[in-house]
Chain A
């Protein structure tokens, strides 16, 4: 595997379900991100992990719970979601070098909450 991978690619869940999204990066990067992409909206940054430490939480509801066990893996645990949480969830990774970085994205998980 190369780059950034995400599983599952598609997920349908009820509002009472608990599910998890998984992201893995094979680029040796030290930062990982979760983004939410809704139709006709710019990408929304949800969480940032820098060297496995969460450094950013952009006012995300507690029904979204991230986990970063190591610098290559990132999870997003979902519980009691709402229909408006249906979106494409994108994972990204980057390496900070000399103050600049380039983020590389995974293919995303298309989530539908019924």
Chain B
């Protein structure tokens, strides 16, 4: 089935640094979602994007819906220890209601 290519798979950064991760696809999506998952917990929605070119912020997080509708990125500025976790992208294709395609996740580690 359709897959999203999420990169990088893992990142080790120093506290205070900025982080960027992205998802790409060979197909067009009409919705991009970014989730964060802590160990043993369910994914928590961070940012939802519904329009090509849309740039949305949520505190230190910023995400963009790519103009081609085939990619999205998530930036985290001035990272802090509680940013540690797995970040997932997810996309919904037009006409595929109730079906999200998930990326494989980016494991983020923030070093003090």
Residues of A within 8 A of B42 (CB): 4, 6, 90-92, 105-108
Quick check: B92 and A105 within 8 Å, CB to CB?
no
Q: Contact check: which of B40, B90, B97, B100 meets A108 at CB < 8 Å?
A: B40
Is the beta-carbon distance between A90 and B97 smaller than 8 angstroms? no
- CB contacts under 8 Å to A, within B1-24, are 3
With A and B bound together, what is the CA distance between A48 and B88 in angstroms? 20
Q: Is B30 an interface residue (CB 8 A)?
A: yes
A105's contact among B3, B43, B50, by CB below 8 Å, is which? B43
Q: Is the CB of B99 within 8 A of A45?
A: yes
- B33 interface residue, CB < 8 Å from A? yes
Closest B residue, CB atoms, query A89: B42
Query: Are A103 and B100 closer than 8 Å at their CB atoms?
Result: yes
Q: A100 near B50 (CB under 8 angstroms)? A: yes
Contact across chains for B98 and A102 when beta carbons are under 8 A apart: no
A91 to B42, CA, bound (A): 9
User: Is chain B's interface secondary structure helix, strand, loop, or mixed overall?
Assistant: loop
B103 adjacent to A42 (CB under 8 Å):
yes
Q: Are B99 and A100 in contact (CB under 8 A)?
A: no
Q: Which of B31, B40, B41, B105 contacts A100 (CB 8 A)?
A: B31
Interface hits, A11-51 → B, CB 8 Å:
31, 33, 41-43, 45, 48, 50
Q: Name the A residues within 8 Å of B3 (CB-CB).
A: 42
Residue of B40, B98, B105 touching A96 (CB-CB under 8 A): B98
Q: Which 7 A-B pairs have the closest CB atoms?
A: A105-B42, A108-B42, A43-B102, A107-B42, A105-B43, A42-B102, A48-B98
Additional A-B contact list (10), CB under 8 Å, known A45-B99, A48-B98, A100-B50: A43-B88, A50-B98, A88-B40, A94-B98, A100-B92, A101-B92, A102-B33, A105-B43, A105-B44, A110-B40
